Amino acid sequence: MGGKGRRHDQGIRQQVTSLVEDAVVRGARLEAACQVLGVSARTLQRWQKHPTEDSRRGPKTAPPHQLTQLEKDEIVRLVNQPAYRNLSPEQAVAKLAGEGIYICSERSLRRVLAERQLDRYRQRSKPAKGHNKPRQYVAHEPLRVLSWDITYMRSSTVRGGFFYLYVFLDIWSRRIVGAEVHESQQADIAANLLDKLCAEHELETEKLVVHSDNGAPMKGATMLATMQSLGITASFSRPNVSDDNAFAESLFRHLKYAPSYPRQGFAALDDARAWVARFVEWYNHEHLHAAIALVTPDDRHHGRDIAILEKRRDTYALAKDRNPRRWTGAQRAWRRPNVVTLNPDRLILSSPKTAASAA
């Protein structure tokens, strides 16, 4: 929504006010709802009290020290001379200052060039471009969206040596559906593991999304060809943005900070494989995962969590009936998360005026 002093038209104010009021009616706190939308509670209260347009109109007079039209023309003439036309605004200002000439600040020079449409990229190389956030994918059932990655496991016998753990995780149930340890990172190994788990779980590959980061094994020709032949939708993180593959990264942190994880590393490949097998068995069948209402990934994967959560609700209801004075509010709901989203989109509000003008 912007920082302090930013103006918002009446359409944006009405949308934000309506969303917050609806959230409060459903039980949310005012401050929490405002924080989600990026606006302070005091600002919202002011909008509710004065729902009209922003009354601020800005300065009515031009600053007396602003650049005149003649000065702007002279600046453009100078920076377009052969000695300066291939320099950045910062370099041009510095070089002119070294020659005893002051024209304006770097920021002012950039504004003048933008006004004259002279700030275009002119080098032979391609300009740097930002990477858009990966597309949002929503899982309503198991084995629809998988997150996978590779992490290193230190060798205790070879200095600087590592084993590599390949993991495929179902984001809906948090169940590890495939895990193997190898001595190298290769797209062929990942492709074989993906092909194997698709056959083992009888996956509907045309409806499957597989997300990973931008590493070489993830974008290797063999891996991409395997996903294409199976009809799998590939999804990739932005470069150097680990949050885009948060499910796999969170699992790796849990794995490496497990009490039984050997700090000095593994003596041999078989030792690493044996430890990973025990961890996967524990994680899938014993670990009560906080993100899925404290049930095991295997229980959620097979639907047993519905009965488990119902029994917990009954237990809490009986406890409240036995001693209601200890319960100042509603009992714990033990809700089952029915939807899990990979890289959820941010909430973007647009005013009706802006949308209409864009159309």
- Of 133, 142, 192, 108, the C-alpha closest to 301 is 142
Res 164: pLDDT: 97
Is pLDDT at 358 greater than 60 in this prediction? no
What six digits make up the tokens of 285?
């069948």
- Of 5, 23, 3, 1, the C-alpha closest to 13 is 1
Q: Which amino acid is at 95?
A: K
Percent with pLDDT over 90 in the chain: 57
- Whole-angstrom distance, CA of residue 14 vs CA of residue 9: 9
- Of 131, 128, 149, the C-alpha closest to 253 is 149
Q: Which residues contact 156 (CB under 8 A, 6 or more apart)?
A: 262, 264, 265, 266, 267
pLDDT band at residue 357 under the 50/70/90 scheme:
very low
* Average pLDDT rounded to a whole number, residues 329-354: 73
294-333: per-residue pLDDT in tens? Answer: 999 999 999 999 999 999 999 999 998 988 888 888 888 8
Report which DSSP code applies to 138: E
> Within a 10 A sphere around the Cβ of 123, how many other Cβ atoms?
7
Instruction: Identify the H or E element spanning 148.
Output: strand 145-154
Is pLDDT at 103 greater than 90 in this prediction? no
> Within a 10 A sphere around the Cβ of 138, how many other Cβ atoms?
14
Res 239: pLDDT: 84
Res 2: pLDDT: 56
Res 42: pLDDT: 87
Is pLDDT at 25 greater than 60 in this prediction? yes
pTM of the model: 0.67
- What is 137-290's CATH topology? Nucleotidyltransferase; domain 5 (3.30.420)
Res 325: pLDDT: 87
Is pLDDT at 186 greater than 90 in this prediction? yes
List residues bridging with 167 in a β-sheet.
149, 179
> Within a 10 A sphere around the Cβ of 287, how many other Cβ atoms?
17
- In 220-351, the DSSP E strands lie at 233-236, 340-342
- The values of phi and psi at residue 318, to 5°, are -65, -40
Count the residues in the chain: 359
Res 356: pLDDT: 38
Is pLDDT at 277 greater than 90 in this prediction? yes
pLDDT band at residue 355 under the 50/70/90 scheme:
very low
* Average pLDDT rounded to a whole number, residues 124-145: 83
Res 276: pLDDT: 97
* Average pLDDT rounded to a whole number, residues 46-60: 75
Highest mean pLDDT among 65-74, 80-89, 145-154: 145-154
Instruction: Sheet containing 209-212: give its strands across.
Output: 176-182, 162-170, 145-154, 209-212, 233-236
217-274: per-residue pLDDT in tens? Answer: 999 999 999 999 999 999 999 888 888 899 999 999 999 999 999 999 999 999 999 9
Res 293: pLDDT: 92
- Whole-angstrom distance, CA of residue 215 vs CA of residue 310: 43
State the chain's mean pLDDT as an integer.
88
- Whole-angstrom distance, CA of residue 109 vs CA of residue 90: 9
